[in-house]
């Protein structure tokens, strides 16, 4: 058992792709699936002539808008590896889903637009990766268009993000003149040939040593001279490559290519799977849990309702941390304090499910959820274990929800409840009103649009949203807090979260600062998990 567990851990790679919107993340995801053999033709969401939509985008709204608004789990084999690819939303209004997904990843691929460089959302997500201490790999995309010089992009990574870059390969040309990439390790030039299929199938490539006399059959003398000059500059002035620096987040391996045309995708995938870490340990209240620990353990990082509209079901996505999961097994549910059966396990290619018999550390599996799972729940075999909680962020936009049809109120309440458990929105109750005119809070304003769309199309209820003037939410801990008297002149309103815990909505920074100064005996917390820990200890 131990040797089989070791082997399965060693061949797994679990990673997420992070980027600013429109950097090409969904396109790169599809091309990785293409080379992994999971799909045979790729259709970009933005290709006007393509009749297909992105494989990773399963929600109708995503297909209509051409953006990813939920995280997808994509699993495929590639050259002896079992790859778990966590595709995440690029739009900043859905960044909370991305933050949660990064908790389940062992490494991240940072996608950068060659013309735009490091963009605002990239900075935010990079910081989250830094906080988690996971290795970061960089893929510079859209070399088939004119962009900034590769050396300039390397410098920007260091100046803006504070991380040094080591180019694993180097581009030959740019825009219409983008010919291929040079592999610095093998000293081989990969020259690509476009087949006029708009990147739908694997691109043909020719590989030849830079020292071969035949190199001039694929590169012009000018291209070869420019390449040698740039490589010499990198060898003399660049960083030394060490895996230790990569694992410590001090150095990012850098790759160049074009996801749209498939140029450079396969060389990137080959190198990445060699360098990326196998599943790593996860911190618990009792210390780190190693993936090779013989007892099964895992945690829920995402819940998705209605992936199959015909069945109106809910799926809890669980990252396996240690041991072996087997179909139908029971595990201890730490939050509920009891044994539960983990039923109907599935693996995914976006919305397509495959029933599985077992899973190993690093795998992400979907469990049928009858309503007993929440984001952050720990499941373990034979003991009470608690992994560090998956963060739940303070909303920044708020609205009162009202049903347009009183006869569909039950459907509205069911939709709100399930979507809040999924993490799409947070639901708050006004004091003494229960679920009458509940308040929803979101991290990004576009989530309101997704909420209305999904409540109508998945639950059959049309809703109105009356926006509120608040911009901060803080959970309150401390003695003598009276929710009924805390509201003040429209600058703040006290509500309850789904667990009945009080929190205060503040109009602006000044209102929050005023409350902190007037009530030094109270703590105003921006994260719910910390509050639950304080409440459990009686603080």
Residues tagged in the binding site annotation for GTP: 19-26, 87-91, 141-144
> In 3-state terms, what secondary structure has residue 191?
strand
**Residue ranges with strand state E in 79-226:** 81-87, 107-113, 136-141, 164-167, 169-172, 180-183, 188-193, 204-209
Rounded-to-integer distance, Cα 202 and Cα 40, Å? 9
> In 3-state terms, what secondary structure has residue 175?
helix
Q: What is the dihedral of CA 102, 427, 337, 366, to 10 degrees?
A: -50
Element (H, E) at 274: helix 265-275
Q: Which token pair is 513?
A: 């600062």
The answer for residues whose C-beta is within 8 angstroms of residue 75's C-beta and 6 or more apart is: 82, 83, 84, 85, 347, 348, 349, 363, 364
Q: Other CB atoms closer than 10 Å to residue 508's CB: what's the count? A: 14
Rounded-to-integer distance, Cα 288 and Cα 308, Å? 36
CB-CB contact of 203 with 261 (8 Å): yes
Q: Are strands 136-141 and 251-256 parallel, antiparallel or unpaired?
A: parallel
Compute the radius of gyration of the chain from its Cα atoms.
25
DSSP type of residue 277 = P
Detail the residues annotated as belonging to a binding site: 19-26, 87-91, 141-144
Q: Are strands 81-87 and 12-19 parallel, antiparallel or unpaired?
A: parallel
């Amino acid at each position: 058992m131990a040797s089989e567990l070791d082997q399965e851990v060693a061949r797994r790679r679990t990673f997420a792709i992070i980027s600013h919107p429109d950097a090409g993340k969904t396109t790169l995801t599809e091309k990785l699936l293409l080379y992994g053999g999971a799909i045979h033709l790729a259709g970009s969401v933005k290709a006007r002539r393509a009749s297909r939509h992105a494989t990773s985008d399963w929600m109708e709204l995503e297909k209509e808008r051409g953006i990813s608004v939920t995280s997808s789990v994509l699993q495929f084999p590639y050259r002896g590896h079992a790859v778990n690819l966590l595709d995440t939303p690029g739009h900043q209004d859905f960044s909370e889903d991305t933050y949660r997904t990064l908790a389940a990843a062992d490494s991240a691929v940072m996608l950068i637009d060659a013309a735009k460089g490091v963009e605002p959302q990239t900075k935010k997500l990079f910081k989250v990766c830094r906080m988690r201490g996971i290795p970061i790999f960089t893929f510079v995309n859209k070399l088939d268009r004119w962009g900034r010089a590769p050396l300039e992009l390397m410098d920007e990574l260091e100046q803006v993000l504070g991380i040094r870059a080591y180019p694993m390969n180097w581009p030959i040309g740019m825009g219409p003149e983008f010919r291929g990439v040079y592999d610095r390790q093998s000293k081989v030039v990969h020259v690509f040939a476009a087949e006029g299929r708009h990147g739908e199938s694997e691109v043909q490539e020719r590989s030849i040593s830079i020292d071969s006399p035949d190199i001039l059959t694929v590169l012009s003398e000018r291209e070869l001279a420019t390449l040698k000059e740039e490589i010499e500059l990198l060898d003399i002035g660049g960083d030394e490559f060490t895996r230790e620096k990569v694992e410590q987040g001090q150095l990012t391996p850098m790759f160049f290519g074009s996801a749209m045309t498939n140029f450079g995708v396969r060389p990137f995938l080959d190198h990445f799977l060699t360098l990326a870490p196998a599943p790593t340990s996860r911190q618990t209240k009792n210390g780190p849990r190693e993936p090779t620990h013989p007892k099964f353990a895992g945690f829920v990082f995402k819940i998705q309702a209605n992936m199959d509209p015909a069945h109106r079901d809910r799926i809890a996505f669980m990252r396996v941390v240690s041991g072996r999961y087997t179909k139908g097994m029971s595990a201890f549910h730490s939050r509920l304090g009891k044994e539960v059966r983990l039923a109907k396990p599935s693996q995914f290619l976006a919305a397509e499910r495959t029933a599985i018999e077992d899973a190993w550390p690093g795998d992400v599996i979907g469990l049928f959820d009858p309503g007993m799972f929440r984001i952050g729940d720990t499941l373990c075999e034979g003991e009470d274990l608690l992994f560090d909680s998956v963060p739940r962020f303070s909303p920044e936009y708020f609205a009162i929800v009202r049903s347009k049809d009183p006869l569909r109120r039950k459907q509205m309440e069911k939709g709100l409840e399930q979507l809040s458990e999924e993490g799409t929105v947070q639901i708050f109750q006004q004091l003494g009103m229960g679920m009458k005119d509940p308040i929803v809070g979101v991290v990004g304003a576009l989530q309101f649009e997704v909420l209305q769309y999904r409540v109508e199309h998945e639950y059959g209820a049309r809703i109105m949203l009356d926006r509120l003037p608040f911009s901060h939410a803080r959970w309150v801990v401390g003695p003598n807090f009276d929710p009924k008297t805390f509201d003040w002149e429209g600058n703040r309103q006290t509500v309850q979260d789904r667990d009945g815990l009080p929190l205060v909505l503040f109009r602006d920074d000044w209102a929050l600062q005023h409350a902190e100064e007037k009530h030094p005996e109270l703590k105003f917390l921006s994260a719910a998990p910390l509050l639950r820990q304080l409440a459990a200890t009686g603080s």
